[in-house]
C-alpha cells in the first residue's frame, strides 16, 4: 500500500506568515532596484554605442560568455540572490 501524498506533502509552516510581510516587501523592492539598475545601464550602453554607430542589440542576444566572464556573471548572480534572501530573512545588506 502506498502512502497518501497529502499526508507528507505539507510544509512545516505556511509559506508566508504575517511576520514575513515586511521582509517580502523589502525583497520585492530590492529586486525592483536591481532590475531598474540593469535596465538603466543597458539602455544607456546601447544609446552611447548607437551614438557612435555601433548597434549591439543582436550581438548581445546571441553572445556566449567565455569561462572568465561566466564566472563573474555567476558571482554577481549569487550576490544579488544573497541580497534578496537577506531581505526575506530581515538581514540588512551592506550594499
Judge whether 40 lies within some domain. Answer: yes
Judge whether 69 lies within some domain. Answer: yes
Judge whether 61 lies within some domain. Answer: yes
What whole-number distance in Å separates Cα of residue 58 and Cα of residue 66?
Answer: 18
Lookup: cell for 17: 506568515
Judge whether 6 lies within some domain. Answer: no
pLDDT tens-digit profile, the chain (95 residues): 556 666 655 556 566 677 878 888 888 898 899 899 999 999 999 999 999 999 998 888 899 999 999 999 999 999 988 887 787 777 776 64
Judge whether 7 lies within some domain. Answer: no
Residues 6+ apart with CB under 8 A from 65: 73
Confidence (pLDDT) at 91 = 76
Confidence (pLDDT) at 10 = 58
Judge whether 8 lies within some domain. Answer: no
Number of structural domains, the chain? 1
Residues 6+ apart with CB under 8 A from 88: 20, 23, 24, 26, 27
Judge whether 83 lies within some domain. Answer: yes
Provide the domain limits for residue 49. 19-88
Residues 6+ apart with CB under 8 A from 59: none
Amino acid at each position: 500500500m502506498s502512502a497518501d501524498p497529502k499526508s507528507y506533502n505539507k510544509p512545516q509552516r505556511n509559506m508566508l506568515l504575517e511576520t514575513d510581510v515586511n521582509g517580502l516587501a523589502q525583497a520585492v523592492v530590492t529586486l525592483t532596484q536591481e532590475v531598474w539598475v540593469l535596465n538603466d545601464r543597458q539602455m544607456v550602453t546601447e544609446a552611447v554605442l548607437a551614438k557612435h554607430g555601433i548597434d549591439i542589440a543582436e550581438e548581445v542576444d546571441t553572445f556566449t560568455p567565455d569561462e572568465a566572464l561566466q564566472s563573474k556573471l555567476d558571482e554577481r548572480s549569487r550576490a544579488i540572490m544573497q541580497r534578496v534572501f537577506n531581505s526575506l530573512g530581515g538581514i540588512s545588506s551592506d550594499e
